[in-house]
Amino acid sequence: MKGLELPVNMLVIIIIGIIVLLALVALFLGGYTGVGVIDAAGAKGKACGVIVNSQCNSNAFDKAVFLTAKFCGRDSPDCTVSEICNRIGLPGQDDCYKSCGCLIGK
Domains of the chain, residue spans: 1-32, 35-99
Instruction: State the pTM of this model.
Output: 0.60
Closest to 51 in 3D by CA, of 63, 40, 43, 39: 63
Whole-Å CA distances, 92 to 45, 55, 62, 89: 17, 18, 13, 9
3-state secondary structure of 64: strand
Mean pLDDT along residues 42-61: 88
Q: How confident is the model at residue 65 (pLDDT cuts 50, 70, 90)?
A: confident
Q: How many CA atoms lie within 13 A of 77 on its CB side?
A: 8
Q: What pLDDT does residue 106 have?
A: 44
pLDDT of residue 36 exceeding 80, the answer is: no
Burial of 12 (0-12, 13-18, 19+ CB in 10 A): exposed
Strand segments, DSSP code E, in the chain are 64-66, 78-80
Q: Give the chain's mean pLDDT.
A: 81
